[in-house]
A = this chain, B = another copy of it.
Amino acid sequence: MIQKEKIKEKFQDLQDDICKTLEIVDGGSFHEDLWEREGGGGGRTRILQGNKIEKGGVNFSAVSGVLPDKILQALQIEKSNFFATGVSIVLHPKNPLVPIIHMNVRYFEMDNGTWWFGGGIDLTPHYINPTDAIFFHEMLKNTCDKHSAAYYPKFKKWADDYFYIKHRKETRGIGGIFFDRLSYNDNFTKDQRFDFVLDVGNTFCPIYLNLLHKNENRSFTEKQKEWQLVRRGRYVEFNLVWDKGTKFGLDTDGRTESILMSLPAQANWVYNHKVEDKSEEKFTQDHLIKGIDWINYTV
């Protein structure tokens, strides 16, 4: 059965692989900050301010210690030592026709033997392109189906519910997959869960490289750039108001600059911004809803 040290190592390798690939594709270089956590452990924060990626982070961390009371209460568990490791990615591209992407894989365990995996990938296109959306969801479904036919439908719905900006009554983007608290049961061993999680991590590059290559050279207008900045404002709203990972990080006195790497270089707010009828912005707005079956979407 896989142990935490091995999981940590594999997550570090995943971070290395993804960073190398992104550097080749973007042409820019990651800036790395190594940090230590007072309570135990630390991380490697890597930030890319590149040619195609305006601002992106590919973070690894492995932290341990005693959980703060606030978290113990939220998780409804007794005082315990914990170990948590994971890789988190958010990329904000320059070109508004390239989507924002987020990926996370994580592992958590406690002294009492409890453990689980969590993670997911979700896409936030500034402009929703059905062909890209279908491709994105097909890639995720393929990865899921290799491990269980039950995964994609369940985790797709979970993503729809999780990446929801309640006060805007809109989804953050076109969803993807999200899962949490995956432990062992009658159907899955720990190694099987980990294989799935690593597979999700390894699906990141093929997905994003295709979406980047396909769209990076398309020309865009001032209006499209403005819309991108407004959509980024919504991304900021989700992350600061609703995202549990961000909240957990800020509550546990995590490294603020690593947690908030998810925020874009620039975001705009326009009072009561409205999209024009029959515009491509309207098309996107109309598709920021839960429950779209992208796999069977007819273009």
- Chain B residues whose C-beta falls within 8 Å of the C-beta of A269 in the assembled complex: 55, 260, 263-267
- Chain B residues whose C-beta falls within 8 Å of the C-beta of A257 in the assembled complex: 271-272
Specify how many copies of this chain sit in the oligomer: 2
* Contact A236-B240, Cβ < 8 Å, known A267-B267, A272-B33: yes
Q: How large is the interface on A (under 10, 10 to 19, 20 to 34, 35 or more residues)?
A: 20 to 34
Residue on B with the closest CB to A268?
B266
**Nearest CB in chain B: distance from A42 CB, A:** 16
- Interface residue? A49 (CB, 8 A): yes
Contact with B along A80-102 (1 / 0, CB 8 A): 00000000000000000000000
| Cross-interface CB contact of A240 among B31, B237, B259, B270, cutoff 8 Å | B237
**Nearest CB in chain B: distance from A191 CB, A:** 36
- Chain B residues whose C-beta falls within 8 Å of the C-beta of A250 in the assembled complex: 166-167, 241
- Chain B residues whose C-beta falls within 8 Å of the C-beta of A256 in the assembled complex: 167-168
- Interface residue? A212 (CB, 8 A): no
Cross-chain contact B265 with A266 (CB below 8 angstroms): no
Provide the bound-state CA to CA distance between A33 and B168, in Å: 18
Cross-chain contact B270 with A265 (CB below 8 angstroms): yes
* Contact A271-B261, Cβ < 8 Å, known A240-B236, A240-B237: yes
Provide the bound-state CA to CA distance between A291 and B270, in Å: 35
Provide the bound-state CA to CA distance between A55 and B229, in Å: 16
- Interface residue? A47 (CB, 8 A): yes
Contact with B along A239-281 (1 / 0, CB 8 A): 0110000000010000011011101111111111000000000
- Interface residue? A41 (CB, 8 A): no
- Chain B residues whose C-beta falls within 8 Å of the C-beta of A266 in the assembled complex: 229, 266-269
- Interface residue? A233 (CB, 8 A): yes
Cross-chain contact B268 with A268 (CB below 8 angstroms): no
Cross-chain contact B265 with A265 (CB below 8 angstroms): no
Provide the bound-state CA to CA distance between A269 and B260, in Å: 9
* Contact A271-B55, Cβ < 8 Å, known A167-B250, A167-B256, A250-B166: yes
Provide the bound-state CA to CA distance between A272 and B59, in Å: 14
Could you show 22 A-B contacts with beta carbons less than 8 Å apart? A31-B271, A33-B272, A47-B272, A49-B271, A55-B269, A166-B250, A167-B250, A167-B259, A168-B256, A233-B263, A236-B267, A237-B240, A237-B260, A257-B272, A260-B269, A263-B269, A265-B268, A265-B269, A265-B270, A266-B267, A266-B269, A267-B267
Given contacts A166-B250, A265-B269, 10 further A-B contacts (CB under 8 A): A33-B272, A47-B272, A55-B269, A240-B240, A241-B250, A261-B271, A263-B269, A266-B267, A266-B268, A267-B267
